[in-house]
A and B are shown apart, each in its own frame.
Chain A
Amino acid sequence: MFPTPIEKKSLPFNMTYRVAIWVALFLWLLPLIAVLMTSARSVADINAGNYWGIPSEWMLFENYTLVFTETPMLRYLLNSILITLPAVFGAVALSTLAGYALAKFKFRGSLALFAAFIAGNFVPFQILMIPVRDLTIGMGLYDTASGLILFHIAFQTGFCTLFMRNFIIGLPDELIEAARVEGVSELKIFWYIVLPLVRPALAALSVLIFTFIWNDYFWALVLVQSDEVRPITAGISALKGQWLASWQLIAAGSIVAALPPVILFFAMQRHFIAGLTLGATKG
Chain B
Amino acid sequence: MQNLHSKQQKWMPVVFLAPAVVLFTVYVMFPILQSIWLSFYEWDGLGEKTFIGFSNYRELFDDYQFWVALKNNLYWMVFFMLAPPIGLAIALFLNQKVMGIRLVKSMFFFPFVLSQVVVGLVFSWFYDPSFGLFNKAIGLFGMEPVAVLSDENWVTFGIIVAGLWPQIAYCMILYLTGLNNLSPDQIEAARLDGAHGWKMLRFVILPQLRPATFIAVVVTVIGALRSFDLVATMTSGGPFGSSSVLAYFMYEQSIFNYRAGYGAAIATVLFVIMDIYIAYFLWRMLKSEKA
A interface list, Cβ under 8 A from B? 1-7, 14, 17-18, 21-22, 24-25, 28-32, 34-35, 38, 49, 51-52, 94-95, 97-98, 100-102, 105-107, 110-111, 113, 115-120, 122-132, 135, 150-151, 153-155, 157-158, 161, 173, 177, 180-181, 185-186, 190, 211, 214-215, 217-218, 221-222, 233-234, 236-237, 240, 247, 250, 254, 257-258, 261-262, 265-266, 269, 273, 276-277, 279-283
Contacts and interface: CB of A to CB of B under 8 A. Distances in A.
A14 B32 CA distance: 55
B21 A31 contact: no
Contact of A126 (B16, B99, B251): B251
B40 to A, nearest CB: 13
B268 A127 contact: yes
B20 A157 contact: yes
B115 A257 contact: yes
A180 B99 CA distance: 51
B227 to A, nearest CB: 10
Contact of A254 (B106, B121, B288): B121
B182 A2 contact: yes
A173 to B, nearest CB: 7
Interface in B83-101: 92-101
B17 interface: yes
Interface string B141-172: 00000000000000000000000010000100
A34 B128 CA distance: 13
A138 B41 CA distance: 20
Contacts of B51: none
A67 B139 CA distance: 34
Given A7-B97, A180-B4, 16 more contacts: A2-B179, A2-B187, A31-B133, A51-B133, A94-B19, A101-B12, A101-B13, A107-B13, A122-B274, A122-B281, A123-B278, A125-B228, A127-B270, A236-B118, A237-B232, A265-B106
Contacts of A280: 174, 177-178, 211-212, 215-216
A29 B107 contact: yes
Interface string B25-41: 01111111011101000
Given A116-B29, A123-B274, A154-B27, A95 B20 contact: yes
Interface in B107-122: 107-111, 113-118, 121-122
B282 A17 contact: no
Contact of A130 (B16, B232, B260): B260
Given A115-B286, A118-B285, A130-B254, A6 B277 contact: no
Contacts of A117: 20, 24
Contacts of B182: 1-2
A277 B99 CA distance: 24
B263 A2 contact: no
Instruction: Please list the 4 inter-chain residue pairs (A to B) with the smallest Cβ-Cβ separation, ordered nearest first.
Output: A154-B27, A131-B31, A101-B16, A98-B20
B184 to A, nearest CB: 7
B140 to A, nearest CB: 13
A22 B103 CA distance: 10
Contacts of B12: 101, 105, 186
Nearest to A236: B117
B122 A120 contact: no
Nearest to B37: A131
* Residue of B2, B98, B113, B271 ringed by the most chain A CB atoms within 10 A: B113
A276 B113 contact: no
Contacts of A233: 115, 117
A221 B136 CA distance: 34
28 contacts: A1-B187, A14-B98, A21-B104, A34-B133, A110-B13, A118-B281, A120-B28, A124-B225, A125-B226, A125-B247, A126-B250, A128-B32, A131-B31, A177-B4, A180-B9, A214-B115, A221-B251, A222-B251, A222-B255, A240-B121, A262-B110, A265-B106, A269-B106, A277-B177, A277-B215, A280-B174, A280-B215, A283-B285
B123 interface: yes
A227 to B, nearest CB: 16
A111 B289 contact: yes
A257 B118 contact: yes
A25 B267 contact: no
A108 to B, nearest CB: 10
B52 interface: no
B50 interface: no
A130 B237 CA distance: 20
